[in-house]
Each structure stands twice: as structure tokens, then as C-alpha cells.
Amino acid sequence: MDMQTIRELQAYGFFFFTVFLVLILYGYCYHLYKSEKTGRRNYEKYSNLALDDDPSSNVLEKKQE
């Protein structure tokens, strides 16, 4: 295979890889909204991790020991 063909394959490979990653990215967006709609998880409450961060604050979700 000559260099020209290899370069072309690289470019096509890159394009389809990009499309694949775009699908994953938008799939993630769909996942976020779906999770909230079905009540599986409330993402917005995690904002409180910054607001409520004193040593005396309650732990929002305890880490499994």
C-alpha cells in the first residue's frame, strides 16, 4: 500500500471515528435527561456539594465503606 492510500485511509478513519464519538456524546446528553425524567437520579442536587461544604455539613451521598 502506498503512502497516499494510507493517508486517505487515515483521513476516512478519522472522520468515522469522529461521527462515532459525536453519537456517544449526544447519547450521554440523552442519558442525563432520561435519568432525570424517570426519577433515577437528580443531577441538580449535586450543585449543593459546593454550597454545603463545611466539615459539619451533612454528607449528600455517603461513600460505600
Partner 1 sequence: MRPGQMLSYDYTVAKLFMFSTILFGIVGMLIGVIIAFQMAYPDLNYIAGEYSTFGRLRPLHTNGVVFGFLLSGIFSTWYYIGQRVLKVSMSESPFLMFIGKLHFWLYMILIAAAVVSLWAGVSTAKEYAELEWPLDIGVVLVWVLWGISIFGLIGIRREKTLYISIWYYIATFLGVAMLYLFNNMEVPTRLISGHGSWLHSVSMYAGSNDALVQWWYGHNAVAFIFTVAIIAQIYYFLPKESGQPIFSYKLSLFSFWGLMFIYLWAGGHHLIYTTVPDWMQTMGSIFSVVLILPSWGSAINILLTMKGEWVQLRENPLIKFMILASTFYMFSTLEGPILSIKSVNALAHYTDWIPGHVHDGALGWIGFMIMAAMYHMTPRFFKREIYSKSIMEAQFWIQTTGIVLYFASMWIAGITQGMMWRATDQYGNLLYSFIDTVVVLIPYYWIRAIGGLLYLIGFFMFAYNIYKSMSAPTISAEPKNASPMGGRLNVEVSNV
* Residue 2 near partner 1 by CB under 8 A: no
Min dist. Cβ of residue 59 to partner 1 (A): 5
> Considering only CA atoms, which of 19, 43, 20 is closest in space to residue 31?
43
Contacts with partner 1 by CB under 8 A: the residue count is 31
Extract the C-alpha cell encoding 25.
456524546
5 binds partner 1 (CB under 8 A): no
| Residue among 6, 23, 33, 34 that touches partner 1 (CB under 8 A) | 33
First to last CA, the chain: 56
Residue 48 interacts with partner 1 (CB under 8 A): yes or no:
yes
- Spatial CA neighbour of 31 closest among 60, 50, 23: 23
